[in-house]
């Protein structure tokens, strides 16, 4: 099939944009869309079956495998968006730092000095992560306009934190030592991460991603002053770059989503990123999140992933609560500017039936019936 025949849905006259895309733009919708962070992954038996034959990085680096894994939750759950199967640390080898997953990330070296930073490269996305762009092109063909495809990257601060810490941490001691002890070096590192992420996510949009999401998992380790001075300006730079790429592709209103973990204490500052959608975790109610952020931005979230380990009655009750806090529900229909999601990634021990129950419940509780 020629490439040009997979025109983005947005450009087809008379065809409405996908529900998820319209919700991201805070347009009127017929029901609340839902997708699940980390929806492709270990809680799915079909994912585990593939992973018995292929390791995680091979799965990310083989477009046919990444495509198949991306589609697994779309088929099983009937979610309203697909998210590319990959990882936020996939661009690291191109920067000059190899990474292994066991299953948590382990970097081959850490970046802690000015010399370390100087040796990092801003990779050309087509050269170092061409397989991601190929997976996106393949997915657009496979999805054939059924549900939109979300591309993603780690936000600059979260990427920088991994580069300095070299893997999982609770205290972020090495990263904070660099940030507050050698600010010029930290600044240089953040600049490399910003340029890398901006180019990488823009390339995904150019390849056909219909929404772009930035994961800032570790931003909540910082207080409001540092967030406003150091974290969010970099996010703004990436958002601006991705927006330019979207304009060049003829999709000026391509949704951009910013998710920061544990950000309840400074949620209102997220407005400064220019993102269309703010991802919210469960440490704040969506009513309070709305009051904090104001109108004109969509909210994505925010069920505690732990709820999906619970009993069906509790899952239904808590889904209804999240929908109500966003301003929707039976009799009211979908709340404008709400995309249902978990507040963080789905847990590996979640029964797949519980995820399916959640998707069906959100549909049932928000569908406008005539």
Give the active site residues. 38, 42, 51, 87, 162
Q: Between 6 and 347, whose beta carbon lies closer to ligand CP3? A: 347
165-200 as b/e: b if 16+ CB within 10 A: bbeeeeebebbbebbeebeebbebbbbbbbbbbbbb
Beta-carbon count within 10 A of 18 CB: 21
Q: What is the DSSP string of 89-150?
A: TTTHHHHT--EEESSSEEESS---SHHHHHT-----HHHHSHHHHHHHHHHHHHHTTSS-EE
**Rounded distance between C-alpha atoms, residue 26 and residue 278, angstroms:** 12
Record the tokens describing residue 65, joined without a space: 């495998």
Q: Between 103 and 351, whose beta carbon lies closer to ligand CP3? A: 103
Write down the H helix ranges in 6-55.
19-24, 45-53
Provide the minimum distance between the beta carbon of 215 and ligand CP3 in the complex, in angstroms, as a whole number: 4
Q: Between 103 and 330, whose beta carbon lies closer to ligand CP3? A: 103
C-beta of residue 323 within 8 angstroms of C-beta of residue 282: no
Comparing C-alpha atoms, which of 73, 346, 72, 38 is closest to residue 213? 38
Q: How many CA atoms lie within 13 A of 213 on its CB side?
A: 28
C-alpha gyration radius of the chain: 20
Query: How, if at all, do strands 99-101 and 82-83 pair?
Result: unpaired
The residues of the shown chain that bind ligand CP3, judged by CB under 6 A, are: 37-42, 51, 56, 83, 85-89, 101, 103-105, 152, 215, 217, 344-345
Using omega within 30 degrees of 0 as the cis cutoff, is the peptide bond preceding 146 cis? no
CA dihedral 50, 52, 55, 60 (to 10 degrees): 10
Provide the minimum distance between the beta carbon of 26 and ligand CP3 in the complex, in angstroms, as a whole number: 23
- What are the backbone dihedrals phi and psi of residue 58, each rounded to the nearest 5 degrees, phi first? -60, -40
100, with CB counted inside 10 A (0-12, 13-18, 19+), is middle
Provide the minimum distance between the beta carbon of 235 and ligand CP3 in the complex, in angstroms, as a whole number: 14
Q: How many CA atoms lie within 13 A of 157 on its CB side?
A: 26
Q: Between 32 and 217, whose beta carbon lies closer to ligand CP3? A: 217
Q: Between 89 and 245, whose beta carbon lies closer to ligand CP3? A: 89
Q: Between 71 and 320, whose beta carbon lies closer to ligand CP3? A: 71
Q: Between 42 and 363, whose beta carbon lies closer to ligand CP3? A: 42
Comparing C-alpha atoms, which of 306, 312, 266, 310 is closest to residue 289? 266
């Amino acid at each position: 099939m020629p490439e040009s025949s997979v025109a983005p849905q947005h450009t087809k006259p008379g065809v409405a944009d996908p529900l998820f895309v319209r919700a991201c733009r805070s347009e009127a919708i017929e029901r609340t869309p839902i997708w699940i962070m980390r929806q492709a992954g270990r809680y799915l038996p079909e994912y585990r079956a593939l992973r018995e034959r292929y390791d995680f990085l091979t799965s990310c680096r083989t477009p046919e495998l990444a495509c198949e894994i991306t589609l697994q939750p779309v088929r099983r759950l009937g979610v309203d968006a697909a998210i590319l199967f990959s990882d936020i640390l996939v661009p690291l080898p191109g920067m000059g730092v190899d990474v292994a997953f066991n299953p948590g990330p382990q970097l081959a070296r850490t970046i802690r000095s000015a010399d370390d930073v100087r040796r990092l490269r801003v990779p050309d996305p087509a050269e170092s992560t061409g397989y991601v762009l190929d997976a996106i092109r393949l997915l657009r063909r496979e999805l054939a306009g059924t549900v939109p495809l979300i591309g993603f990257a780690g936000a600059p601060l979260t990427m920088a934190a991994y580069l300095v810490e070299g893997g999982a941490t609770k205290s972020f001691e090495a990263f904070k030592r660099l940030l507050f002890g050698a600010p010029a070096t930290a600044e240089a590192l953040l600049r490399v991460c910003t340029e890398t992420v901006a180019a990488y996510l823009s390339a995904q949009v150019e390849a056909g991603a219909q929404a772009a999401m930035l994961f800032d998992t570790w931003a909540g380790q910082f207080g409001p002053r540092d967030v406003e001075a150091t974290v969010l300006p970099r996010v703004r730079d990436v958002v601006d770059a991705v927006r330019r790429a979207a304009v060049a592709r003829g999709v000026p209103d391509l949704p951009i989503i910013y998710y920061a973990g544990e950000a309840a204490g400074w949620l209102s500052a997220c407005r400064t990123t220019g993102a269309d959608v703010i991802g919210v975790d469960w440490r704040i109610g969506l009513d309070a999140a709305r009051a904090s952020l104001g109108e004109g931005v969509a909210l994505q979230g925010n069920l505690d992933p732990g709820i999906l380990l619970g009993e069906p009655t509790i899952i239904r009750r808590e889904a209804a609560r999240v929908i109500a806090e966003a301003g929707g529900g039976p009799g009211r229909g979908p709340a404008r500017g709400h995309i249902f999601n978990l507040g963080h990634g789905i847990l590996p021990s979640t029964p797949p039936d519980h995820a399916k129950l959640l998707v069906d419940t959100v549909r049932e509780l928000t569908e406008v019936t005539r």
